[in-house]
Structure 1
Amino acid sequence: METLAIVLLAFFATGYFVLAGADIGTGMLSPYLGRSDHERRLVIASFAPFFLGNEVWLIATAGVLVGCFPDLEGELLSGQFTVLVPLLGGWIVRDIALWSRGRGPGRRWRAACDGAVVCGSWAVALSWGWLLAAPLTGTPYERAGGATAVLVALATAALFAAHGLGFAALRLTGLPFERARLLVGRTGRWQSFALTAALLGALPLLAGSALPLTERAADGATLALLVPALLVVTPFLVAAQVWTWRTFRHRVTRPSYL
């Protein structure tokens, strides 16, 4: 059961980084991709159908960590609290701005929300890099510091941005598409997206390999209850994700309601 719990944790964490990394990266680059109010609405429309579903993978990851590895979760939470605060803050600011953008008065309101989406996206990406720097450098229970933490955070944010750029090249049209294609370069759009997806997916796997997951797993009775339930729910989560991507597989040509 411990092995199944570790596999589920790795599956959900990898799914979150690959899927949510696309909308986070696109949000980070929205000032470059969208130069006008109309273009920024197109950029947001490119990931609007996906971002809430993508965040479910993070919730599932947290649920597996809390339920199947409670002792480890407590130690990580206390040791990385100062990193989790900007991560959650950026996440909340970003989501509120996305939901509020189309519901306020005038262009100034939308411009303020656009700025919040950008700042929130960068905060999330940099915070993930800062958080992952701890286990990657061998100190999972302490906040990473120094030049190494800065470099890992910046490299992770750059990877998020590159992933979002590949996603934008697959979803956008018009001038925003041309700007995305310019930075993607000669590499095929699907090849670029697949490469950054593989790199982003590898990050939580590398970080998780530094954690004592087997030793800190919950007792057998708890795992015998939780793991089968998770195995039942997981196919529905995957099916919902596949349906979403299939339904919204076409390029965006007009703004969404956001």
Structure 2
Amino acid sequence: METLAIALLGFFMAGYFVLGGTDIGTGMLLPYLGRDPAERRLVLTSFSPFFLGNEVWLIAAAGVLVGCFPELEGELLSGQFTVVVPLLVGWVVRDMGLWLRGRSGGSVRRAVCDGAVVCGSWAVALTWGWLLAALFTGAPERPASGPVAVLTALAVAALFAAHGLGFAAVRLTGAPFERARRLTGRTGPGPSLVLTTVLMAALPVCAGRGLPLHASAADGATLALLVPVVLTVTPLLVAVQAWVWHTFRHRVTRPSYL
């Protein structure tokens, strides 16, 4: 049961980084991809059908962590408190910008919402890098510091941006598509997105290898109750996610309510 719980935690975290990384990375590049309000609406439309579903993967991972690894969860939250807080703030600010943009009248308010999306996306990407720096060094009980933390945070944020760029190149049309395509390199948007997908999935998996997951797992009775429930729900989550991505698989040609 411990091995299944660890596999589920890795699966949900990898799924969040791969799927959630698309909207976070695209939001980071909003000023570059969209040069005017109409283009920015088009860029936001490229990931607006997905971002809430993508966040479900993080919620599922958090549920597995809390239920199956309560000791590690407590250690992470207390030790990484100064990292988790800005991560949550960035998450809330970004989502607030997305939710309020379509309900904000006037160009100034929409610009503020666009700024919230960009700043929140960068905050989420950088703080994930900061958190991963501590996990890579095998010290989840305290935040990473020094040049290693800075370089890791910047590298992870750059990977988020590259992942969002590849996603934008396969979703957008018009001038935003051309800007995204110029930065994907000679390989083209498809191979670029595949490469960043592999790297994004590897990030949480590699970080988790240094955590004492077996030692901090819940007792056998708790795992015997929780793991089968999660295993039962997981195919439904995957099926719903696949249906959403299949439904909105075409390139966007016009803005949505955002």
Instruction: Specify the TM-score bucket, using the shorter chain as the normaliser.
Output: over 0.9
Instruction: Say if 2:68 is the partner of 1:68.
Output: yes
CA distance in 2, matches of 1:10, 1:185: 30
1:173-192 to structure 2, matched below 5 A, reads 173-192=173-192
Gaps (5+ residues) in structure 1?
none
User: Does the Cα contact within 8 Å between 2:181 and 2:188 map onto a contact in 1?
Assistant: no
| C-alpha RMSD of the superposition | 0.5
Q: State the distance in 1 between where 2:135 and 2:55 align.
A: 23
Query: 1:4-23, aligned counterparts within 5 Å?
Result: 4-23=4-23
Identity %: 74
Measured against aligned partners, the alpha-carbon deviations of 1:81-103 in whole angstroms (never above 9, x if no partner) come to 00001100000000011000010
Question: SS in structure 2 opposite 1:103?
Answer: coil
Aligned length: 258
Q: Give the superposition deviation at 1:105.
A: 1.4
The offset of 1:138, in angstroms, is 2.2
What TM-score do you get using the length of structure 1 for normalisation? 0.99
Counterpart for residue 146 of structure 2:
146
**After superposition, what is the alpha-carbon deviation per residue over 1:174-230, rounded to whole angstroms, capped at 9, x for unaligned?**
000000000012112111001001111111011100001011100000000000000
Distance in 1 between residues matched to 2:135 and 2:102, nearest whole Å: 40
C-alpha distance in 2, partners of 1:223/1:185?
46
Map 1:1-258; keep pairs closer than 5 Å.
1-258=1-258
Deviations 1:91-140 (A, max 9, x none): 00000110000101111110010000000000000000000000101212
Moved beyond 4 Å, runs of 4+: none
Runs of 5+ unmatched residues, structure 2: none
CA shift at 1:162, angstroms? 0.1
Given the two structures, how large is their TM-score scaled by the length of structure 2?
Answer: 0.99
Q: Do the aligned partners of 2:172 and 2:252 also contact (CA within 8 Å) in 1?
A: yes
